[in-house]
Amino acid sequence: MIKLKLKDGSVREIESAKSAAEIVKEIGMGLYKAACSVKINGEVKDLRTVVDSDCTFEVLTFDDVDGKKTFWHTASHIMAQAVKRLYPETLLSIGPAIDNGFYYDFDRETPFSEEELVAIEQEMKKIVKEGLELEQFELSPKEAIDYLKNQGEIYKVELCEEHAGKGEPISFYRQGEFTDLCAGPHLMTTAPVKAIKLTSCTGAYWRGNEKNKMLSRIYAVAFPKASQLEEYLTLVEEAKKRDHRKLGKQLGLFMMHEAGPGFPFFLPKGMILKNTLLGYWHELHERNGYQEISTPIILNRSLWETSGHWDHYKDNMYTTVIDEKDCAIKPMNCPGGVLVYQSEPRSYRDLPLRLGELGIVHRHEKSGQLHGLMRVRCFTQDDAHIFMTPDQIKDEIKGVARLIDEVYKLFGFTYHVELSTRPEDSMGSDEDWEMATDALRGALEELGLSYEVNEGDGAFYGPKIDFHLKDSIGRTWQCGTIQLDFQLPLRFGLEYNGADGEKHRPIMIHRVAFGSVERFIGILIEHYAGAFPLWLAPEQARIIPVSDKQNDYAQKVLERLKAEGIRATIDKRAEKMGWKIRQAQLEKIPYMLVIGDKEIEAGAVAVRSRKDGDLGTTEVGDLLSKLKKEIDDKSN
């Protein structure tokens, strides 16, 4: 008997080896029709895979991240087949699934036109209707290279030659007349790919290297149902309206300049937003027992060699020479935090030691990858490094998870959690990894947080927990992370005096909540579509006098609001009141306070809310109480 442990914890037995497809059919035909692939012992596999020994067995549908990737990977092959049918002289390179669909890179004389993209999409739909079965087969490295050379596929040959030295068979997939070099996994047939949309065509260097040839990259997305595609396209249109680059300019929050590509400039209103966010960060961390530090931006080469960054991250680091010594601008804060720990003897009584830092870091991102505040070369990382004893791991993980949960709930984000386990190229002993992974898993279970296991995706120095937040229009962002590290304390020889009088090595947690503060602000701009809650809004209220006659009273109201810490301005422009209100609405001001003669007589203001419209006339004192409560509650 072969035992299969299913996702719900139940065990299913099969008498002899069977394909995953046969097993899923036995579980239920409805599930089989929805299945894209399976996960066997944590590894994503084809439904063609034969199961011949005890294992964990999970069926993946389009609702699962890995199921989507299988679906989209097959769709990328359908795209390549359509291109080869229509333009057989075109050469193929790679076509992976990505977070929001898939792409394929092609080599041809001229970029694809809009008309050609339409033709490719139509041909893809024909291939789907043909319901072609996908067949996997393997060739020896020599056979694979000879086959691809005969096809003239020079990019595939290059990929094949890189793997030939391993001597392992090389995998291909065939569908109809089309064959592609590919390790899979794939759908069983082309039929499930019902709804397809080619979204754009751009240039992309082969293997991302600007020294190589520029290829044509077609981006696309596909779904099992037309309704899902319609929902996605609606989401894309909504996302365009919320684009933080457009809103950042419109609302006067930040700017980019050719004088410093990838280095954002925060404008006065943007600085208010950023400082308000950081003010919350300080309050949160003080409340949770963190001590704030600040470490230098430039440190010498020997430090980065000890930490391992000089060998493994140098291409992304900015370097300089000071007093004839190599130095680097820090890409990460952790080595500085380690030096602070090392600055004095430590005892077990000092632990856990929680050190928080809003550290400015610099990383050399390629120009083609820069994107507003989301991908920059200089940003503020809200780091914390916690040094602790082994028996403190679980409680510290729980404390960090609670802190991150508080942050995300404040802004109205929901999230899911992933536990990433030991990768193949890891460092450290089996015992350390087992203890660390069990501690992370135990903390999540004691908190009652459901999580997915991401096998083999931990950092080389330890397992980690990632928090993937979902914004108001359903997009997912990876921001918060908790990483356990045994290696940096080892590399730097960190110690503490234990209760037994002996020297011991602490364990280290790397942790961020916002991640990059700049990126988090970009996410918030899009999450709120620029309409920030009152406590976060750069301008909280705008006073709008009907005419110049009310300016003196308006000034007194302004002074009273400012005295209570309300961020307010007066619009004294010689324009009609309706125009001023529309401008305030375009600038997404939470409250508009209109003042005419009646309001002056009553010692009040006419209040208009961005969210709720006209709220009527209110005494200034009552208004202040309302605004201060909303700010103190940090209401959304």
290: buried, middle or exposed (CB in 10 Å: 19+, 13-18, 0-12)?
buried
pLDDT reported for residue 355:
97
Q: Could you confirm whether 416 is annotated as catalytic? A: no
Task: Please identify which of the residues 84, 244, 377, 464 carries the catalytic annotation.
Answer: 464
Helices (H) and strands (E) in the chain, counts: 20, 35
Q: Report the DSSP beta bridge partners of residue 292.
A: 356
* Lowest mean per-residue pLDDT among 41-45, 73-77, 173-177: 41-45
285 contacts 356 by C-beta, under 8 angstroms: yes
pLDDT value at 405 more than 90: yes
Q: What's the pLDDT at 424?
A: 79
Separation in Å, CA 471 to CA 62, 246, 308, 382, 532: 20, 18, 35, 20, 14
Contacts of 378 (CB under 8 A, 6+ apart): 262, 263, 264, 360, 361, 362
DSSP output for 87-147 = -TTPEE----EETTEEEEEEE-SSPPPHHHHHHHHHHHHHHHHHTPBEEEEEE-HHHHHHH
pLDDT of residue 425 exceeding 80: no
Contact 463, 422 (CB under 8 A): yes
**CA-to-CA distance for 222 and 224, rounded, in angstroms?**
7
Averaged pLDDT for residues 577-591: 94
3-state secondary structure of 535: coil
> What SS3 string covers 151-173?
HCCHHHHHHHHHHHCCCCCEEEE
% of the chain beyond a pLDDT of 90: 79
Confidence of residue 452 (pLDDT cuts 50, 70, 90): confident
Q: Is 81 helix (H, G, I), strand (E, B) or coil?
A: helix
Contact (CB, 8 A) for 401 and 482: yes
Model pLDDT for residues 189-226, shown as the tens digit of each residue: 999 999 999 999 999 999 888 889 999 999 999 999 99
How many Cα atoms occupy the beta-carbon half-sphere of 166 within 13 Å? 8
What's the Rg (C-alpha) of the chain? 29
The answer for residues whose C-beta is within 8 angstroms of residue 33's C-beta and 6 or more apart is none
Compute the average pLDDT of residues 387-403: 93
CA distance 593 to 575: 16
599-612 pLDDT, tens digit each: 999 999 999 999 99
608 is catalytic: no
Show contacts of 464-467: CB within 8 Å, 24+ apart: 464/419, 464/420, 464/440, 465/397, 465/401, 465/417, 465/418, 465/419, 465/420, 465/440, 466/417, 466/418, 466/420, 467/404, 467/408, 467/415, 467/416, 467/417
- Residue 413 has a pLDDT of 92
241 a catalytic residue? no
CA dist., res. 543 & res. 594, Å (int)? 6
Tokens of 228: 């899902």
Q: What is the pLDDT of residue 29?
A: 93
**Do the strands 496-497 and 18-19 form a parallel or antiparallel pair, or are they unpaired?**
unpaired
Active-site annotation holds for 350: no
- pTM assigned to the model: 0.82
Q: Is residue 566 scored above 80 in pLDDT? A: yes
**Cα–Cα separations (whole angstroms), residue 50 to 10, 20, 304:** 20, 6, 47
Whether the per-residue pLDDT at 419 is higher than 80: the answer is yes
- 468, 418 Cβ separation under 8 angstroms: yes
pLDDT band of 57, cuts 50, 70, 90: very high
Name the active-site residue from 39, 385, 511, 542: 385
Give me the mean pLDDT over the 305-314 stretch. 85
| pLDDT at residue number 166 | 75
Catalytic: 588? Answer: no
d(CA 396, CA 352): 8
- pLDDT tops 90 at residue 555: yes
* Cα-based distances in Å from 48 to 2, 54, 64, 67: 17, 17, 19, 15
β-strands 464-470, 591-595: how paired?
unpaired
State the catalytic residue, choosing from 160, 201, 327, 334.
Answer: 334
SS3 content of the chain, % helix, strand, coil (to 5): 40, 30, 30
Q: Which of 105, 383, 405, 471 is catalytic?
A: 383
Q: How far apart are CA 584 and CA 590, in angstroms?
A: 9
Which position among 84, 330, 363, 422 bears the catalytic label? Answer: 363
As to burial, measured by CB atoms within 10 angstroms (0-12 exposed, 13-18 middle, 19+ buried), residue 130 is middle
464 is catalytic: yes
Instruction: Determine the pLDDT at residue 423.
Output: 84
User: 511, exposed or middle or buried, with CB in 10 Å at 0-12, 13-18, 19+?
Assistant: buried
Q: Of 69, 84, 362, 510, which is the active-site residue?
A: 510
pLDDT, mean of residues 249-254:
96
What is the C-alpha separation between 245 and 248, in angstroms, rounded? 5
Q: Alpha helix (H) ranges present in 564-635?
A: 577-586, 597-602, 620-632
Note the pLDDT of residue 462.
83
Burial, 184: exposed, middle or buried (Cβ in 10 Å; 0-12, 13-18, 19+)?
A: buried
Residue 354 has pLDDT above 90, yes or no: yes
Position 219 scores a pLDDT of: 96
% of the chain at pLDDT higher than 70: 100
| Structural domains of the chain, ranges and CATH numbers in brackets | 2-61 (3.10.20.30), 68-240 (3.30.980.10), 249-292+366-527 (3.30.930.10), 541-632 (3.40.50.800)
Residue appearing with tokens 């200034």: 620
Q: How high is the mean pLDDT of the chain? A: 93
**Better pLDDT: 162 or 175:** 175
**Known catalytic residue: 383?**
yes
Q: What is the pLDDT of residues 494-550, one digit of tens each?
A: 999 999 999 999 999 999 999 999 999 999 999 999 999 999 999 999 999 999 999
Q: What are 16-48's pLDDT values in tens digits?
A: 899 999 999 999 999 999 999 999 998 999 999
Looking at the predicted structure, is the pLDDT value of residue 476 above 80? yes
- The band of 492, judged by pLDDT with boundaries at 50, 70 and 90, is very high
pLDDT bin (cut points 50, 70, 90) of residue 473 is: confident
Please tell me which residue in 84, 269, 354, 381 is annotated as part of the active site.
381
